[in-house]
Amino acid sequence: MTGQPVLDVRGVTKTYGMGETEVQALRGMSLTVRRGEYLAIMGSSGSGKSTLMNILGCLDIPTSGRYLLDGVDVSRLTDRQLALVRNRRIGFVFQAFNLIPRTSALSNVELPLAYAGMKAAERRRRAMAALSMVGLADRARHEPNQLSGGQQQRVAVARALVTAPALVLADEPTGNLDTHSSAEVLAVLDRLNRSGRTIVLITHEADVAAHAKRLIRLVDGQIVEDTR
């Protein structure tokens, strides 16, 4: 089930440095991702994946072109406004789980809700719901070091979901996991997509990318393949 564009990238370029040292990391890229899509981005090292991910995730802005996230033109927002968009509209999952040590899974998942001044009981309720979605309701009181790698990454996925973001952006989410744990995390992402979440998955592994329903391949800062 697809609908409105969640991501709308129009002729985006990104240039690092100037003159002699100038690097064109993205060379005029256009891409539309609709609600409910499950997209994998692949490409060899240096092809521009991280640059694109930083722009999609509002961690950086394009040199030229426009980027609309959930209908909002983020190309020219201030750092402060970008931070707000990041917090509310995007759920990040990184290769390193980035959980806070000696802190329960539940508290880790609650963290992104603290900004809004949400009442503690409501934060707790939403965090429990997100942990249930990744199949970890019974591990809510466990701390990261009491969980397997796959479980820790599922907590990170729950944390990404808890704000009900327009987009879940996963950068090599299985890069640090063994085969069994990878399968666990990918099963969760698959299930989230079946329930209507929009997922963009950056990976260099073809078997991970195969979980997505659409594949974009980058070469030298350009899209050379876009298949469904």
Listing DSSP states for 2-39 in one string gives --SEEEEEEEEEEEES-GGG-EEEEEEEEEEEETT-EE
DSSP-based three-state secondary structure for 78: coil
- The single residue among 1, 18, 20, 45 that binds ligand ADP, judged by CB under 6 A, is 45
> Binder to ligand ADP among 2, 3, 23, 81 (CB under 6 A)?
23
Q: Is 66 left (phi over 0), alpha (psi -120 to 50) or beta?
A: beta
Half-sphere exposure at residue 59, Cβ-oriented, CA atoms within 13 angstroms = 11
Q: Select the span of 17-25, 45-53, 75-83, 97-105 touching Mg ion (CB under 5 A).
A: 45-53
- Residue 95 in the binding site for Mg ion (CB under 5 A): no
3-state secondary structure of 110: helix
Instruction: Pick the closest to residue 118 from 157, 180, 176, 163 (CA basis).
Output: 163
Q: List the single partner that 163 binds among ligand ADP, Mg ion, none, CB under 5 to 8 Å by kind.
A: none
Q: Is 177 helix (H, G, I), strand (E, B) or coil?
A: coil
Using CA atoms, how far apart are residues 27 and 41, in angstroms rounded to an integer? 16
Kindly tell me which residue out of 24, 50, 87, 95 binds Mg ion, with binding defined by CB under 5 A. Answer: 50
Element (H, E) at 106: helix 105-110
Query: Which of ligand ADP, Mg ion, none does 165 bind, CB closer than 5 to 8 A by kind?
Result: none
User: Residue 227 binds what, of ligand ADP, Mg ion, none (CB under 5 to 8 Å, by partner type)?
Assistant: none
Of 23 and 120, nearer to ligand ADP (C-beta) is: 23
Of the ranges 16-24, 140-148, 150-158, 176-184, which one interacts with ligand ADP (CB under 6 A)?
A: 16-24
Q: Which residue lies nearer to Mg ion by CB, 75 or 203?
A: 203
Among 5, 36, 48, 91, binds ligand ADP (CB under 6 A): 48
Footprint on this chain of ligand ADP (rule: CB under 6 A): 16-17, 23, 25, 43, 45-51
Footprint on this chain of Mg ion (rule: CB under 5 A): 49-50
